Copies of this chain bind each other. A is one copy, B any other.
Amino acid sequence: MDENEHLKAAAAAARQASHILARSPAGTRNAALRTMADAVRAGMREILAANAADVAAYQGTAAFLDRLTLTEARVEAMARGLEDVASLPDPLDRVLADWTRPNGLRIRRIATPIGVIGMIYESRPNVGADASALCLKSGNAVILRGGSDSLHSARAINAALQKGLVAAGLPEACIQVAPTADRAYVAAMLAGAGLLDLIIPRGGKSLVERVQREARVPVLAHAEGLCHTYVHAAADPAMARRILANAKMRRTGICGATETLLIDRSIAASLLPLLVADLRALGCAFRADAAARAIVPDLPAASPTDFDTEWLDAILSVAVVDGVDAALAHIAAHGSEHTDAIVTEDAAAADRFLRGVDSAVAMWNASTQFCDGGEFGFGAEIGIATGRIHARGPVGLEQLTTYRYLVTGTGQVRP
């Protein structure tokens, strides 16, 4: 079989499994998540051995190697993650709307699974287990295609998850992994209109952009998080310092980290030196425009592309702006419609900013690093979406559902 035939067979099995899953009670899906957790613990030795083979073959960077490497503690965390998802509220069969027409027809909009989801991700083996849990809980079958570097790990984890599924009476085809590391399998998934209902890519910008460019299947994703924190003229200086330090430096490698500081000219002279000193103390470097360098002369000059760069590192782009509209114009020109924040005590300015910024998440007086399914109260997330369709922002269980209508009558016919 070539990759297209492999995918067709996997998708056909997934489709059948998805119908069983869609009709399964929440109790069955939750029981399966718990037996899957048990199976992961029982398969600890096999999973670590498979991961050791991936690690031994790996020849890249130390940072990547750390993400690739599993330990007993990380496998145990994976099992606990499955149990955590079991404890979340059921996202299916929620009544999203319920109304009765003048002719007596009752119309209900009901949350229902999407169907068969394709997940394409890189390196970190736990992403496969987390995605499996969220898809299963939301009644969706999933086909996972992890990075070629973690193929053995992904297979071993999947073998454990499938044992858990079968123990709970659900078909093992609910959760499948690509049988090959060939990149042609990704191409087959991207071309899989009718086979897959949705593709979720998780990984670097080039992977996600390839998926967005080539997919003939709907995609939920973000290619980058070029997030801004705008310190308005009426900001509380102490709050601005606290928020910016957190938004930039708490973790620099996540998509909700602030990459650019915009600061109003009228407070820049007094506040920018303090913000720079705070961040320097935390190890942050800068790329600043001329107006910012006029205030803090030792800031390095920004190049023309720096304001379009998602650093994912301890580097902050800095620009001085003249008020809310200028901040909005900068964000529209350089942002990625992910998460953008204003810090101000002026409610009218905040309102203008929140209305004007067209990002998935707009924040007022909070750290952009709160853009996260856990922090939103979703319990877990499969990713962040910055597209315009279906779901924006953190993608949790609710966002992994769609809806259908139930219309109940008493013999109504249409005039």
> Nearest B residue to A240 by beta-carbon distance?
B411
A140 to B, closest residue via Cβ: B388
Count contacts on A: residues with CB < 8 A to the other chain.
67
Known interface pairs A198-B389, A404-B362; A412-B367 also in contact (CB < 8 Å) = yes
Known A-B contacts A107-B376, A242-B413; A114 and B198 likewise in contact (beta carbons under 8 Å): no
Whether A377 and B411, one on each chain, are in contact in the complex, defined by CB atoms closer than 8 angstroms, is no
Could you tell me if A414 and B246 are in contact, using CB atoms closer than 8 angstroms? yes
**Residues 100-138 of chain A: 1 if any B CB is under 8 Å from the residue's CB, otherwise 0?**
010001010000101100000000000000000000000
Other-chain contact of A375, B101, B362, B393 (Cβ < 8 Å) = B101
B-side contacts of A409, CB under 8 Å: 363-366, 370
* A208-267 contacts to B (CB < 8 Å): 212-216, 218, 236, 239, 242-243, 245-247, 250
Q: Is A326 an interface residue (CB 8 A)?
A: no
Report if A76 contacts B (CB, 8 A). no
Query: Which of B99, B403, B406 is A392 in contact with, Cβ under 8 Å?
Result: B403
Binds B, one of A269-277, A299-307, A350-358: A350-358
Interface check A6, CB cutoff 8 A? no
Tell me the complex Cα distance, A342–B410, Å: 11
Is A317 positioned at the interface, with any CB of B under 8 Å from its CB? no
**Chain A positions 176 through 197: 1 when the CB is less than 8 Å from some CB of chain B, otherwise 0:** 0000000000000000010001
Q: A114-B389, A389-B198, A412-B370 are in contact. Are A404 and B236 (CB under 8 A)?
A: no
Are A366 and B405 CB-contacts (below 8 A) given A23-B356, A101-B375, A389-B198? Answer: no
Q: List which A347-406 residues lie within 8 A (CB) of chain B.
A: 350, 354-356, 358-367, 369-370, 372, 375-377, 387-390, 392-393, 402-406
Q: Chain B contacts of A365 at CB under 8 A?
A: 408-412
Q: Check A414–B369 contact: CB distance below 8 A.
A: yes
- Chain B, Cβ-Cβ closest to A256: B414
> Which B residues are in CB contact (< 8 Å) with A354?
406, 408
**Contact of B389 with A250 in the complex, beta carbons under 8 Å:** no
Top 9 nearest A-B pairs (CB, nearest first) are A366-B409, A246-B413, A239-B411, A390-B390, A197-B388, A369-B414, A363-B407, A218-B389, A361-B405
Given A389-B389, A390-B402, 18 more pairs with CB closer than 8 A: A19-B332, A101-B376, A105-B366, A114-B389, A218-B387, A243-B413, A246-B413, A360-B405, A364-B406, A365-B408, A366-B407, A366-B412, A366-B413, A370-B412, A388-B402, A389-B390, A392-B402, A393-B405
